[in-house]
Amino acid sequence: MSCTGDVQDQILRDALDIWANHSGCACIDINSSTQFVRLWVFVLFGAVIITFFITAPFWPRRCKIYLRKRLLGRHESTGVKGEETNEGERPSVGGTCAEAEVPAGETHGPQPDISKAREHLVRTSTTKNGRWRPLWRSTLADLAEEGGPGLRLYFSLLRIFGILFAYMAALTCASIAFNAISDFAPDNGNILAKTTIGNLGVGVSGITALPPEDRYVILKDADGSCEGTPLTTTTGILAWLDFAATIAFLTALVYFRFYEVPQIEKLTDQEQITCGDYAIEIDHLPRNFPGHEETGGEDSGKTQYERELREYLESRMSEIREKDKSNGESVGKVEELVFVRDNKRMLTTEIALAGWKKDKDIAEFVENAKQVEQLDKKIQAAEQLIADKQTADDTKLDVIRAFAILSTPKDAKLLRADFRFSTFALLRGLSELLGRIGIFEGCCPQRRRMFKSKALRIRRAPEPSNLIWENQDVPFWERFARRVGVSFVFLLILITSFGLVYLANITAKRQVKSSAQLLGVDHCDPDPRALEAGDDGTTYQCLVWNATNWTMDFVKNATADEKACYCGAVGYANILADADLVNGVCKDWLVAIGTGIAIGVLATGIVVAINVTCKLVLLKLAEQEKPLSVSALNATKMVKIFALQTLNTGFVIFCVNFKPPEDFPLGNIIFFGEYSDSVRGWYVVVGAAILANMLANAITPSATNFVVMSLAHMKRCCCRSRQKHHAKLVELYTNPEFDMAARFAQLLNTIFVTVTYSAGMPALYIFCCFYMWFTFWADKIVLLRCAKRPPMYDTQMPRKAVTIMFFAVALHCVFAIWMFGQPCTFPSKPMSAFDTETLAKHGGGAPDGLYDRISKESTWMFFVLLVILVALWVLGTIAFVLGGTVGSTAKVLFMALCPNRAKAKLDEDDDKLWADAAASIKAKNHPTSYAMEAHPNFRDRLSYLDLSPSTRKQTSDSKGDAITVPVSPTEAPESPAVDGSPAPGGSPTTDGSPAPDESPESASADVVA
C-alpha cells in the first residue's frame, strides 16, 4: 500500500499493495525520493571516482609525450622516458639488439646447437642490446621502434579506448543498478539478463488491471522502508546518460582519427631514423628505351637505364638546391637505386623453389629418401615453369618502378616537394601530351620533371621490411581486377558462412521447446504468430498473471505446457529455493533448461569451427589481391575477418530470433524467430546470449595468447632434443609473427558489437573495458616475449579501423531508438511539443509507430544524431566521388596559388648523411637497402634464390666500386650453408643467412620482382 494513503487510483493502490507484499515492505512511499537521490549520487559519483583512480596511473605517462614535445622539444625527448641519444642524435629505428649481426668468423654446421639457436631467438625477437625489453617500463614509443607507428597506434587505441569505456561504464552504471534491483524480465536463471533494461521496473505478476508501462521502480532501505517512483521518470535520465556516453565515444573517435593518428605518425617520424626518411619511390617510369640494358663504360656493372636515371635525379636535386640557397650546400647524391622489373609474376614460384631446395638439403642430410623424392618432383616442375616464362635476360626486362635512397632526408623532402604535382594523373598525362606535340618544349617547368618523355611520380617510399616483393610487378589494372574478383568471392563466402551459422543456431533452437511468458499485452509480448503449438496441437498462451494464481494441487495435475508455464512464472531463483519444486512439478522444466544450454554450447562449437574455417579461407583470399605492402595486406585481412566475426557472432543471434512484419519479403521463409520488437523476453534470449558472448570475448583472446605462448615454450623444451639438423632447431627457436590483422579485426568486432547493443545492455561497456585492458597487457607480453620482430607498419590499418568505428555510432542510434522507444520495456514520456493529435496524424497512435518512437524524451536526441551522421556520410560519399575530379582540381589550384604552403617542412637534423644513419640502422638489425635480398623474410633461403646477374655477382655503390654479394648455389664451389658448409659468397650464420661482411644490402641493384 501507499505510506501516505493519498493514492486515489484504486488500480494503483492494489498494485502497490501487491508490490509491498512482494518486497517485504509495510508500505511503499511514492512521494519521497530520498533513497533514489542517494542511489543516483552513490552510483554515479562512486563509479566515476573509482574509474578515475583505476585509470589515473595511465594518464601521466600519456601526458608526458605532449609535455616533453611542446616544452622540451623533440631533440631533448625520445618519447615518454625522455632518453637522450648518443652525441645528441635521434635513436635509430629498431631498438633491438646491438649485436644483431653475427661475427663473420662465427659459423655453424648442420649439428644442432641450442646456444646458437637461442642467440637466433634473441636476435629475431623484439629485443634491445641483446636483452629482452622490460614488460612494464616499455613505452608506446619503444613499441614504435619495433613496429612503426601502426604498432604504436594499435596499443594506443587499446589504452585510450580502455580508459574511454571505463568512463562510459561509469556514466551508465546507474542503469545497471536500476536493472539489477528490478524483476520485470522472466527469470530463467541467466543473471546477465538482469543487467539489461528488459528487467527494469518491478514485476507485474498477479496484476491484471495495471498496464505494464505504468509500473514503478521500488527501492528498499536497510530499515525495511520502501520508496517507489514511476518508471517513466527514470527512463529519460537513463537515456540521456547513454547519450552522453555515445557523444564521448564519438568525440574520442574524432580525436583519434584526426589528431592522434597524424600526431603519432609525426611524433614517430621525429623520434626515429628510418630507411624511409631517405628513400623515394619512383613510379610511371618508361618501361624501356633503346639500349637501356647495355652495361659498361665508366660505371661498369650498371645498366644504361640506371646511369641515366641516377644522373637525372642528381641533376634535379642540384637544381632544387641552387634555386633556394636557404636549403644549404648541394649534396644531391643517389646512394642506392633499386629497380623493380617485370618478371611475369614468377617471384612467388622462385621463392617457393628456394624453400624446397633448402628442405631438400635438410632431407638429404637426415637421409629421408622419400621426402627427397617428393621435393625433387616439385623442384623440377617449378624450374620448368620458370624456364618457360623467362625468355630474356633479367636486365632486358621492363622496368616497373624504382626505389632510391638519397644522401640526406632533406634531399628526399625537397625532391618530393618538387614533384608534388606528380600525384595527379591528369597533370602527368597533360605533360606527356604536350611533350609529344612539342608545345612548351624546353620552357615549361613541368618538362624538367619528366624522364624520357614520361612524367614521373615521386612519393615517400615505404619501409623496406613493409614491402611484399612477390607482388611488386603486378600492374595496377590487375590488382584492381583482383580486388573486384576477391570482393565478389568474399561476399559469397560471407553469405555462405552466415547461412551455415544461421542454420546451426536455428537447428539448435528447434531442439528446445520455448515457453514464452506472456503479459497479455500486444506490445509487451512476443509476436503471436511465432507461438508454438501445445500438446493438443493448439497454440498455448502462458499468461503470467494467471499462472501465479494457480494452486499447487492444480499444477500437479496440469498438462506439461501448464507446468512449464507455472515454473517459468515462478522463476528460476524461487524454484531452486524450494526443494519440492525442484524434485516435483518443475523437474522437467529444469531438465529442459539444461538441455537447451547443452545444445547451445554445441551450436556455439559448430559456429566457432565455421568461423575458423572461413577465417583461414579469407586470409588466403586476401593474399590474392596482391597488395604491394604488408600494411595494405593486413588492412584488407582486417576488414574481411572483422566482417566475418561481427556478422556471425553479433548479428546471427539477432536474426535467429527476429520475426519480421507480415509484408516483409520472404520473411516467413528466412526468419523463424519470436520477437519483432525489443520486449522483455528478447533481452532474456537474445540480450543474454550477446552478453555471454562478449563476456567470454573479454577474456578468451588474452587467455588464448597466453596458452599459445606457453605451448610454444613447452614445444621448445620437449622437441629441441629431437631436431637432427640445426636449421630445424632454428625454426623451432623462431617466434611466430605478431598477427596485426587478426588483432585489429578482434578489436573492431568487440567495439562494434558493444556500441551497437549497449543502449539496452550497458554491461557491455564493462566487458569491453575488460577486453581492452586484458588485451593490452596480453599482447604487450606476447610481443615482447613471444613474437617475431614485426615489419614497420604504417598508419593504414589504424586509419581504416577508426573509420569503420564511426558506423557503429550510427547503429547505436538505430538500436537506441528501437530499444528506448519500446513502450512496454522502456516506457518514456513523449516530447511536450508533440500532442496526441499530432502523434495520431503521423501514424504515432500505435505504440510501435515510428513517429511515436522518435518523438519521446528518451529517443529524440538519438534520432537527431542519426540524421547528422547520415548527412555527414552522404556528404563524405559525394566528396569521395568528386574527389578524383573537383577535389583534385581544387587541390592543384591551392598548391599552385600557394606555393609557400606546399614547401617541404625541413627539420634541423635533415642534413644527416646516409652513411651515418645506415650504420646505426643496420646495427639495430633493420634493413638498410631496398634490394630484395636484404629483406628479412628471405634471409633463410637467400643462397637458394636465383636472383638477377647484377645482384648475384656484384653491384656498385654511388662511386662505382664493386661490392661482392652472394652468388647462386649453382655457382658456389661448396654446398650451401644449410648443411654446414660455407654459404655461397661467405660463411653461414646461425640462422642460415649470409654473414654480415658479405651482406647483400647493395648500393645498386636490378631486382626482378
With residue 44 as reference, give the H or E element that holds it. helix 34-55
- For residue 667, give the C-alpha cell: 520473411
pLDDT surpassing 80 at residue 65: no
Q: pLDDT (tens digit, 9 = 90+) per residue, 215-235?
A: 888 877 766 778 788 888 888
Please state, for a pLDDT cut of 90, what percent of the chain lies above it. 12
Q: Dihedral through CA 928, CA 930, CA 933, CA 934, nearest 10?
A: 20
pLDDT surpassing 90 at residue 847: no
* Distance (Å, whole) CA 262 – CA 264: 6
Question: Any idea how long the chain is?
Answer: 1009
Q: pLDDT (tens digit, 9 = 90+) per residue, 16-60?
A: 777 777 777 777 777 766 667 777 777 777 777 777 766 665 554
Q: pLDDT (tens digit, 9 = 90+) per residue, 740-798?
A: 898 999 999 999 999 999 999 999 999 999 999 899 999 999 999 888 888 888 888 99
Q: Residue 407 — φ and ψ, nearest 5°?
A: -70, -35
Q: How confident is the model at residue 243 (pLDDT cuts 50, 70, 90)?
A: very high
Q: How far is CA 896 from CA 326, 433, 445, 890, 891, in A?
A: 21, 20, 13, 10, 8
Residue given cell 642467440 in the structure block: 119
Single-letter residue type at 937:
N
Average pLDDT over residues 645-664: 82
* Distance (Å, whole) CA 730 – CA 65: 39
Of 360-374, 510-524, 551-565, 580-594, least confident by mean pLDDT is 510-524
Alpha helices per DSSP H over 678-762: 680-682, 688-719, 726-732, 740-757
Q: How confident is the model at residue 604 (pLDDT cuts 50, 70, 90)?
A: confident
Cβ neighbours around 589 below 10 Å, total: 23
Residue given cell 617547368 in the structure block: 445
Q: pLDDT (tens digit, 9 = 90+) per residue, 165-220?
A: 988 998 888 888 888 888 888 877 778 888 999 888 887 665 656 778 888 888 77
pLDDT at 813: 95
Residue 360 CA to its chain's centroid (Å): 39
pLDDT surpassing 80 at residue 391: no
Residue 996 CA to its chain's centroid (Å): 37
pLDDT at 246: 94
Residue, of 472 and 988, whose pLDDT is higher = 472
* Distance (Å, whole) CA 58 – CA 53: 10
Q: pLDDT (tens digit, 9 = 90+) per residue, 244-268?
A: 999 999 999 999 999 888 888 888 8
Residue, of 448 and 286, whose pLDDT is higher = 286
CA nearest neighbour of 328 among 909, 915, 875, 934: 909
Q: Residue 450 — φ and ψ, nearest 5°?
A: -120, 145
Residue, of 597 and 794, whose pLDDT is higher = 794
Decide: 586 and 570 in contact? Cβ < 8 Å. yes
Single-letter residue type at 219:
L
pLDDT at 250: 94
Average pLDDT in the chain: 76
pLDDT at 810: 94
- For residue 795, give the C-alpha cell: 598508419
pLDDT at 861: 93
pLDDT at 542: 78
pLDDT at 802: 92
pLDDT at 435: 62
Residue given cell 501448464 in the structure block: 562
* Distance (Å, whole) CA 808 – CA 447: 48
Please report how many Cα atoms fall inside a 13 Å half-sphere around the Cα of residue 644, on the Cβ side: 30
HEC states along 281-293?
EEECCCCCCCCCC
pLDDT at 768: 92
Q: Residue 511 — φ and ψ, nearest 5°?
A: -75, -15
Average pLDDT over residues 9-21: 74
Residue 559 CA to its chain's centroid (Å): 53
Q: How far is CA 367 from CA 363, 364, 419, 612, 941, in A?
A: 6, 5, 58, 37, 21
Residue given cell 618457360 in the structure block: 388
Residue, of 756 and 595, whose pLDDT is higher = 756
Decide: 169 and 51 in contact? Cβ < 8 Å. yes
pLDDT at 619: 86
Tell me the β-bridge partners of 872: none
Strands of the sheet with 279-283, listed across from one edge: 457-460, 279-283, 399-406, 334-341, 1004-1008
Q: How confident is the model at residue 136 (pLDDT cuts 50, 70, 90)?
A: confident
Q: pLDDT (tens digit, 9 = 90+) per residue, 318-340?
A: 888 777 665 555 567 888 898 88
Decide: 149 and 647 in contact? Cβ < 8 Å. no
DSSP three-state, residue 760: coil
Residue given cell 616537394 in the structure block: 417
Q: What's the whole-model pTM score?
A: 0.82
Q: pLDDT (tens digit, 9 = 90+) per residue, 716-729?
A: 888 888 888 888 88
Residue 665 CA to its chain's centroid (Å): 35
Q: pLDDT (tens digit, 9 = 90+) per residue, 74-122?
A: 433 344 333 333 333 334 433 333 333 443 333 456 788 888 888 888 8
CA nearest neighbour of 153 among 252, 43, 231, 263: 263
Cβ neighbours around 843 below 10 Å, total: 11
pLDDT at 979: 38
The CA-based angle 324-325-327, given to 5 degrees, is: 80
Q: pLDDT (tens digit, 9 = 90+) per residue, 656-680?
A: 888 887 777 666 667 777 888 888 8
* Distance (Å, whole) CA 428 – CA 422: 6
